[in-house]
């Protein structure tokens, strides 16, 4: 009789077991995991892109609003810049203007009583064309051209030569004066004095000595501090000529009017008065 093995084939010992399907399950699970991760990444990326697009739209709206506000306020900005420019211009003009009133007051306070002037010419720089009312003294003209600063050219008389030195010393006390230079200090010739002052009569009375050999006639230049930011050469309109005693080479023409141009940095100078 033939023996029959009733033990199931899959539990028999020593028998060849059929292959199982467990590996395919793992592969399927891995593929599902990868799909889930990819889907999550896609969703997160789409959410991030949506957020960035929302932020970009908000920034564009804010930029448009800021540009609109700036355009509305542009006239005020232009006006502020214009105002600042004009303030700087006025400040520059005021800083480059010479105070002739203060200079003349200082000169009037220090000049002694025994001094009388026949010429008083103020300029902000040498080389200024004063026309008929310009300085006619070659000595002061040479001294005046030595410095590019405001200066006053004085011609007058006093009682003696010692008083001329005293006048120069006192002129140095004027605020703003940096130098006082003497061009000449001369007395009349004895022959001219003996002629009874004929020389003075022929010159139209511009010689303050009036033919006297006692009184010296001096010519000097008073230099002041340089103007801040002033050009090296002033324009011809920057002069402050004064009246003189009569028509001669050493004095100003009679009746010349005083000129002032404060906008160009100059002031007026008066002359022909005695003390």
Show the tokens assigned to 194: 């003996």
Question: What is the pLDDT at residue 188?
Answer: 82
C-alpha separations of 244 from 36, 225, 236, 257 in Å: 110, 26, 20, 10
Question: Do 85 and 163 fall within a single domain?
Answer: no
C-alpha separations of 250 from 135, 140, 182, 235 in Å: 8, 10, 15, 24
Q: Across 35-39, 95-99, 140-144, 196-200, which has the greatest mean pLDDT?
A: 35-39
Q: Which domain holds residue 32?
A: 24-95
Question: Do 213 and 119 fall within a single domain?
Answer: yes
Asked if pLDDT for residue 257 goes beyond 50, the answer is no
d(Cα 275, Cα 252) in Å, to the nearest integer? 18
Question: Do 46 and 126 fall within a single domain?
Answer: no
d(Cα 221, Cα 172) in Å, to the nearest integer? 11
**Total domains present in the chain:** 2
Of the candidates 212, 15, 29, 239, the residue with the CA atom closest to the CA atom of residue 122? 239
Residue 106: inside a domain, yes or no? yes
Question: What is the pLDDT at residue 59?
Answer: 93
Question: What is the pLDDT at residue 131?
Answer: 52
Question: Do 86 and 121 fall within a single domain?
Answer: no
d(Cα 129, Cα 1) in Å, to the nearest integer? 158
> 253, 265 in Cβ contact below 8 A?
no
Which one of 95, 112, 130 terminates a domain?
Answer: 95
Which one of 95, 117, 141 terminates a domain?
Answer: 95
Work out the mean pLDDT of the chain and round it to a whole number. 74
Question: Do 141 and 251 fall within a single domain?
Answer: yes
Question: Do 58 and 189 fall within a single domain?
Answer: no
Question: What is the pLDDT at residue 244?
Answer: 41
> 225, 160 in Cβ contact below 8 A?
no
Show the tokens assigned to 271: 């002359």
- Average pLDDT, stretch 39-59? 92
Beta bridge partners of 222: 152, 180
Helix, strand, or coil (residue 139): helix
Which one of 95, 128, 152 terminates a domain?
Answer: 95
- Average pLDDT, stretch 212-233? 80
């Amino acid at each position: 009789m033939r023996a029959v093995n009733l033990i199931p084939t899959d539990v028999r010992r020593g028998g060849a077991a059929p292959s199982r399907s467990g590996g395919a399950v793992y592969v399927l699970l891995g593929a599902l995991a990868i799909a889930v991760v990819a889907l999550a990444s896609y969703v997160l990326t789409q959410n991030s892109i949506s957020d960035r697009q929302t932020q970009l739209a908000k920034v564009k709206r804010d930029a448009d609003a800021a540009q609109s506000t700036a355009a509305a306020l542009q006239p005020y900005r232009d006006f502020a810049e214009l105002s600042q420019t004009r303030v700087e211009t006025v400040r520059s003009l005021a800083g480059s203007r010479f105070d002739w009133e203060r200079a003349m007051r200082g000169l009037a306070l220090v000049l002694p009583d025994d001094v009388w002037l026949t010429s008083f010419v103020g300029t902000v720089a040498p080389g200024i064309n004063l026309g008929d009312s310009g300085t006619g003294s070659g000595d002061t003209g040479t001294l005046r051209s030595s410095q590019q600063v405001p200066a006053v050219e004085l011609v007058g008389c006093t009682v003696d030569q010692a008083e001329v030195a005293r006048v120069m010393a006192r002129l140095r006390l004027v605020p703003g004066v940096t130098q006082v230079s003497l061009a000449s200090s001369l007395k009349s010739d004895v022959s001219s004095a003996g002629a009874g002052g004929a020389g003075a009569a022929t010159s139209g009375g511009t010689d303050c000595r009036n033919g006297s050999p006692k009184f010296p006639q001096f010519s000097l230049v008073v230099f002041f501090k340089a103007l801040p930011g002033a050009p090296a050469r002033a324009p011809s309109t920057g002069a402050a000529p004064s009246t003189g005693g009569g028509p001669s080479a050493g004095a100003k023409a009679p009746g010349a009017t005083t000129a002032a141009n404060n906008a160009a940095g100059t002031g007026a100078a008066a002359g022909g008065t005695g003390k």
